[in-house]
Amino acid sequence: MTDKGVFLVTGGSRGIGEAIARSAAAEGYFVLLTYVGQADRARGVVEAIQAAGGRAAAVQADTGVPADVARMFEAADQHGRLSALVYNGGITGGVGLLADQTDDTLAQVIAVNLTGALISCREAVKRMSTRLGGQGGSIVLLSSRAATLGSPNQHLWYAASKGGVDSLNLGLAREVAGEGIRVNCVSPGPIATEIHAPGRLEAIRDSLPMKREGTPEEVAAAVMFLVSDAASYVAAANIEVAGAR
């Protein structure tokens, strides 16, 4: 089998990240997934991938902590050439009004969702860029429909952080397009994952155009298209996986 390199996916122990990790392994990548605190779940994903004939490992890393980001890339280097980064990890910081939020909540959301993405992209570019001696690669950022909807009365600070991710996608894609790196974005709408407050999906289901939420596997399919050779001329794109919402 041709060595497709290392596929690094943050937040890969559950939900969308897990679906991406499983899909990437099935495509022949060595998958390195990160987790923050749920080591058992991460181990379960790795073992499931291995049982299916794939290759995978997990590393603990909080992408809101620069030292952890450095450690996850060091772990990736140990497994071979980095060919794909999917920055999937993200937090909402809860639900409520901006006026009620603490400085710590706002800082943590920005640190994980945006600053962590910037640092991770920087480290990926250092490894992938043909200008810097790399062999090229693909970066996919997970944004959210919240970036354009704003999420008022829910978590507008989360939406603002994802708006930054959208800008990062556009700017970095144009910055490194000539260096063998394609940067793209996927913006999910309501997806059946644990990021939602209990009961939220049920409460909004009838208002959704398709009358249902999406699945992690539907998001993973868009990510895997963007990473694939079929998307060789696709860069700075932002695919909405949101059922017309």
Give the catalytic positions in this structure.
158
Beta bridge partners of residue 137, listed in sequence order? 181
To which residue do tokens 């679906």 refer?
Answer: 19
Alpha-carbon distance of 158 to 153, in angstroms, equals 11
For 60-63, which contacts have Cβ atoms below 8 Å and span 24 or more sequence positions? Answer: 60/34, 60/35, 60/36, 61/10, 61/34, 61/35, 61/36, 62/36, 62/112, 63/10, 63/11, 63/34, 63/87, 63/89, 63/112, 63/116, 63/117, 63/119, 63/120
Alpha helices in 56-199 (DSSP H): 66-78, 103-110, 116-128, 146-149, 156-176
Q: Which secondary structure element, helix H or strand E, spans residue 34, and what is its range? A: strand 30-35
Helix axes 39-51, 15-26, angle to 10 degrees: 20
Tokens 């779940």 -> residue: 41
Residues 6+ apart with CB under 8 A from 47: none
